[in-house]
Structure 1
Amino acid sequence: MIRRILILFSFMWLFMAITCDNEPYEGDVVVDEIDNCLSATELTAQALVDFANTDVDSYNLLCQAYRDALEDQIEFCGDENGDLQYIIEGLGDCVIDDNTNTTECEMAAEASAIALENLEDAITVEYTAACIAYREALENQIFNCGDDGTLLNLILELGNCEPEIFNVVGDWKLIVWQSDIPRDIDNDGIETSDYLTEIDCFNNETASFNSDGTGTLYYRESMEVEVSSPTNDPTDLEYSIECFEDIRTFGFTWTQEGDSITVTLDSDGTVLDFFRNGDVIFIAMRDFFVATSTSSNVDDIVQDIIWAYVQF
């Protein structure tokens, strides 16, 4: 579960970089790098489909092509949690040992296992490609191994490989403030990228989505943060936080298209773009975390935060 959450937040940062004026936290984003990452991801998905249909004669070539695609994806997209490298290591040297008398059936079963692992780890935008690759691997396994109905049932369960429609209706609670810059906000000597675990407030911020397309955001606290350097070293930071009761409610209307939820506030028409992945909905909050400097050699901190909600 932890591994999946880490993968989720890795995807969140890519999503935020693409949707928020193409600006990351610090410095300009190079749009070509984003395009290269997306292209590399698509090529990896296609290479997996090809590898899913491998046989003895084509195994080495298609395995190597898949491994190369994974390595390119790591180069252009990164691999923060090592998931892609884990797959590469599982592929080995892509050479079949003739002494093992590996059969077409054994190879097809191995390809199915790899495709299933990719499907289980796939984020929403990759689900369809990973599902198709797994389906084709199962079909290839049936061709080479036969089937007592078990593999066919797995194929039928996959359906048309469309992600299930996500129902956002219900009550949601804020659980994470995710950043790509770890900080020790509570001054305990441990940095973390989830700022909410460092702050003793915002413990009951919720959102309600009604079935009639209306809803309410509930904010119950606000805060002021100051940052200083007790040693006059700009890398040695100390924070002070003050939380205030600040009860506010914002009515809204909402629409949903796939995993995207568009919220429009009743008060002023402000549009908030939520996105869903797994059991989490999240929103990128631009310039949300602000820490005012009280030291001459320390700059104010202003950065983006991803808010993540789970249903309760």
Structure 2
Amino acid sequence: MFAFKVEIIPIAMKKISYLYFFFALFTAAVFTSCENEPLTGEFFTTPDGSDSTTDDDGTIDSEECTVALNALATGQASLAVATEETYNAACVAYATALDFIISNCGDPNNVYQNILNTLGDCSFNACIQAQAASDLQQNIFENSDPEGQQTACFNYLTALENEIEVCGDSAGIIQAVIDGLPCDNNCENATAATADAQANFDAVDVTDEAA
């Protein structure tokens, strides 16, 4: 009986050793797989090493992209009020801003690249100037708060009407945008807002070569 007990103890110890060995292997595998598990989602590193993510429209959301967007708005505003004498410099600055935004935000649908292509050699072009003004007012309208939305809407509408006058709209695309704007339907409010928008836009009339 005693001999049987002596024999069973080493066997039990061997089983415990094997179990411990497999447990250690399993634990190591779990920790290793967790440490190497990739994060879900799209993450990128900008040239300065900061992290960024990708928005639903495919553009990169980062601090550099925000700076680029602000630079683009400045470029649009400068081009919209440029005279024939200052147009070239404003156009070059606008082109630089477009390059900057493509590099730092991406351009999955080639929207910015197409605008850049239309600039050509930056010779004076009233139509491009009107388009820049419309793009600027569109951005202001889309990012306006509720209190300023109606004014921004009519400013955008006025810019689009000016773009039609300067560039034409044979396909009716710009008019369709105007028709879809959710500007105030109240006649009195609409008249007042439109008058204010027209006055503001007349101050930087892109068709006035003496502006």
| Larger Rg computed on CA atoms | 2
Higher strand share: 1
Smaller-chain TM-score bracket = 0.3 to 0.5
Higher helix share: 2
Higher relative contact order (CA 8 A, sep 6+): 2
TM (norm. structure 1) is 0.29
